[in-house]
Amino acid sequence: MTDPPIVGDHRPEFQAVADAFAANFRPTGTADGPADVGELGAALVVLVGGETVLDLAGGWADIAGTRPFQPTSLVNAYSVGKALTAVAVMRLVDDGRLELDRPLTEHWPEFAAGDKHGATLRHALTHAAGVPAIAEPMANDALADWDAMAAAVARTPAYWEPGSAHGYHVNTFGYVAAAAACRVTGSTFPELLRAELTGPVGVADDLFIGTPVGHLDRCVEIDVGGPGTGPLAFPDEGDDRARMLHAAYFNPPSIAGMGMVNSAEWRRASVPSTNGQMTARAVARCYAALLPSASSPLLSGDLLAEATSTQTDGPDLIIGRPTRFGLGFQLHRDERTLGTTPAAFGHYGYGGSLGFADPSLDVAFAFLTARPGDRWQPPRTKRLLAALRSCFSIP
């Protein structure tokens, strides 16, 4: 295997970011932070004021190292898709078809089961709906059936009273947040995403959650064998929290993509929290459409201000450490930098992929990796963010 060239371009003032991107392809030891084997393939796009200032791709699109990674390669971006799903749903709030503080059951009556009748769209978008996992055992075949997955979520009793706490809805977020929207519009989830997000932004052929057959050959293989990507450790299975955690990550067994992430079946399914296939260019353009410089903003100013303000903050019943969310967006915490300044909003994906917007700098950013690293402090992502901050003279 030989190193393919990094393709793309950047403005001279962003040379530090380009250098950091190139450095990410080299293994690092503990002297440079956590040990990391380096990239397999990755893409990075930065827009300032809606203009592209850096657009790079490099490495391999397959684990064997035979197919170069291209700017048009589609990457499984994991939880990057959560915020994008939220934006599509909030477009219905802007036009009055949904309301943040009305019960989800007004459009999705089945969701009332198990003491969830008081759950609102706001709860759903802030990981406070009380359904971070599906309670009943599910087979992997269900992942291809949106209705079956949504129905199982609806039948699950609340793990906590909606709104009384928050816990990261690792793999159920997309169903809880979007099922009512699909009922209101009478559309499938891929149709909803295209109508409310990718179509308006102009990236309908570069961002999918439910990838059409004709685009499967653009998907890159994800290498989940690197450090920091092994199975999660859980406490005693007899413990209530342990059962909740296990279901959150492993019900159905491959709901997080494990064992299926490189299969056509996985890529064609619609699992909004986890299996979106997208380019970094598309993610960056979606975030640019949420910035002050956007000529056709995706959300109204008032709703965006609410979406990017703190909605839930503090102990997270799933993650086991404090988290902070707006409406669908992760927000800055000092112990886990999200972007360039504390004003940034966006979402990480498993192992380091990241999309965010920073209105204070008018920056949109997207980084997608084919080799996930550390879950909480991904060293390659941190290196890119530090380099980007240096370009704006931010410590």
CB burial class (10 A; 0-12, 13-18, 19+) of residue 75?
A: buried
Is 374 among the domain residues?
A: yes
Q: Which domain holds residue 298?
A: 7-391
CATH code for position 158: 3.40.710.10
Residue 239: the pLDDT is: 77
Residue 381 and residue 288: Cα distance in Å, rounded? 19
Q: What is the pLDDT of residues 13-70, one digit of tens each?
A: 999 999 999 999 998 865 555 678 899 999 999 999 999 999 999 999 999 999 999 9
235: in domain? yes
pLDDT higher than 50, residue 231? no
Q: What is the mean pLDDT of residues 141-162?
A: 97
Q: Are 383 and 20 in contact (CB under 8 A)?
A: yes
Distance CA 25, CA 3 (A): 9
Domain contains 2: no
**CA 158 from centre of chain:** 24
CA distance 41 to 60: 5
SS3 (DSSP) at 201: helix
pLDDT(372) > 60: yes
Element at 189 (helix H, strand E): helix 189-193
pTM: 0.95
Query: Mean pLDDT throughout 135-155?
Result: 97
**What CA–CA distance (Å, rounded) separates 192 from 279?**
19
Q: Are the C-beta atoms of residues 128 and 166 closer than 8 Å to each other?
A: yes
Which of 66-80, 111-125, 374-388 is the least confident region?
374-388
In a domain, 121, yes or no: yes
Nearest CA to 261 out of 323, 219, 208 is that of 219
Q: Is the pLDDT of residue 377 over 90?
A: no
- Amino acid residing at 154: A
Query: Under a CB-based contact definition with an 8 Å cutoff, are residues 48 and 362 in contact?
Result: yes
Assess if residue 168 is contained within a domain: yes
For residue 6, give the 3-state DSSP assignment: coil
Choose between 5 and 87: higher pLDDT: 87
Q: What is the pLDDT of residue 395?
A: 85
Q: Is residue 20 part of a domain?
A: yes
Residue 28 in 3-state DSSP? strand
Amino acid at 290: L
**Residue 1 lies inside a defined structural domain of this protein:** no
Which region, left, alpha or beta, applies to residue 39 given φ > 0 means left and ψ of -120 to 50 means alpha?
beta
Answer positive or negative: Cα dihedral of 88, 90, 96, 100. positive
Containing H/E element for 45? strand 41-48
Does residue 79 sit within a domain? Answer: yes
Per-residue pLDDT band for 144 (boundaries 50, 70, 90) equals very high
Q: Total domain count for the chain?
A: 1
Helix (H) or strand (E) holding 164: none
